[in-house]
Amino acid sequence: MGSTAAERHVDVRSTARVTRPRDGALEAEATFPIVLFSNSVVMGGMEEHVIQLARGLKARGFPVAVMCSGHDGIRDMRDALTESGVDVHLLATQRATPFTAVTRVVALSRVLRRYHGGLLHLHFTGHTGGDLATLAARLAGLRAVVRSVHLPPEARAPWRDRVVVRLRDRQLSKIICVSEQTRREHLALLGRDERRCVVVHNGVDLERFNPDVPPVNVRAEFGIDAAAPIVGTVARLGEARKGIADLISAAAIVAQRRPDVRFLIVGEGSLRPQLEAQAHAVGLGPKIVFAGHRSDVPQLLAAMAVFASPSLYEACQYNLLEAMAVGRPVVTTPTGVAPEVVADGRSGRLVPIADSAAMANAIVGVLADPDASAMGRRAREVIAAHYSVDAMVDGIVGIYRDVA
């Protein structure tokens, strides 16, 4: 995982100050370098989070660098960061061993010394890893290490793993969980230090995802009749935990009760052939469209009468927040951030996990509800009030300042 190169140079000696509004006043605040470290190799919610955070930090005057893989799967993240003027450092891909650990720490430290006096922010999907980067940050003279966790643990860890996690956490100033449910699960299943665990939710770009986005050419492109309600979702089709198989089973039930409904699944991944075969087997045929990877997600969301989120477990799912920001009525399992943003029957519907019949009933109910548009408006109000990108970045900056 040693760094190889940076695409842009950042003057880490800068003492620039940023002036921005807070509580109606302008306040000058000193900035310091922030290095974001990601272990990801595929695009998803965590990668979107890193892009948003890096851009938000730069807008607030912080020198920002990102250390990440050179894997093709996150080329979009690297390109977005580079275009935003972020210093990008690529990590070596070979697996760490006791024989390579020392050279990796040296390589990491060499890069991190450029940001002496700064802060390292680790971004991981799981609770393992990051030890070499943390050690390198200490050797390089960084003032603090913060870690974000972007998924809950799947099960209670063995006691040995819990001990390792507690020892690792002692090297961290704060652990940022992206939802309250995720924080509780990390405390209960991993025995993490409650004093270090805080919650900062993911944020949505409220300008890009808004109720005025037009569903341009969506129906024409996919051959969907203008009168046909569209039930859809957006997900990476590479993980069974996204629950798309359950959604297809629910869609088959909905189709029997509402033959006019069409279904739209946006996303790509290794499970797509399996899911397409399932859809064919349950008789959905031309009633379901697999749209693949798309860059026009707001327009696709705008075309949906109902957005369905069938995940088996999550942390703070962007697809749900984005659909609500566009003003879509949502039907979701109570995973991740869903219990915090969805008031059942008011800003969406909550259904049990892995219960296709319950999801189908809720979808049919929302389609028949004359108040469904009001449900979508209330969903937008929740996201606009509490889940913007600015709110997310400000929350994280507050943690940086506390620990630094």
**Is residue 9 over pLDDT 60?**
no
Is pLDDT above 70 for 207?
A: yes
**184-206 pLDDT per residue, tens:** 999 999 999 999 999 999 999 99
Q: Which of 162-180 are b and which e, b meaning 16 or more Cβ less than 10 Å from the residue's Cβ?
A: bebbeebbeebbbbbbbbe
Give 15's pLDDT tier (boundaries 50, 70, 90).
Answer: very low
pLDDT in tens, 293-338: 999 999 999 999 999 999 999 999 999 999 999 999 999 999 999 9
Q: What are the chain's domains? A: 3-203+388-403 (3.40.50.2000), 218-386 (3.40.50.2000)
Distance, in Å, from the CA atom of 396 to the CA atom of 200, rounded to the nearest integer, reads: 7
What is the reported pLDDT for 392? 97
Q: Give CA–CA dist 131/304, Å, rounded.
A: 44
Angstrom distance (rounded) from CA 69 to CA 84: 18
Burial classification of residue 317, based on how many CB atoms lie within 10 Å of its CB (0-12 exposed, 13-18 middle, 19 or more buried) = buried
Helix crossing, 131-139 with 101-112: angle to 10°? 50
Q: Please tell me the predicted confidence (pLDDT) of residue 92.
A: 77
- Give the SS3 label for residue 166: helix
CB 100 within 8 A of CB 132: no
- The helix (run of H) or strand (run of E) holding residue 260 is none
- Residue-wise pLDDT for 74-116, tens only, equals 999 999 999 999 999 998 766 666 678 888 999 999 999 999 9
| 168 and 130 Cβ atoms separated by less than 8 Å | yes
pLDDT at 28 over 60: no
52: Cβ–Cβ under 8 A, 6 or more apart, which residues?
A: 203, 205, 389, 392, 393
Average confidence score pLDDT of the chain = 90
Question: Which tokens is 88 given?
Answer: 């990008």
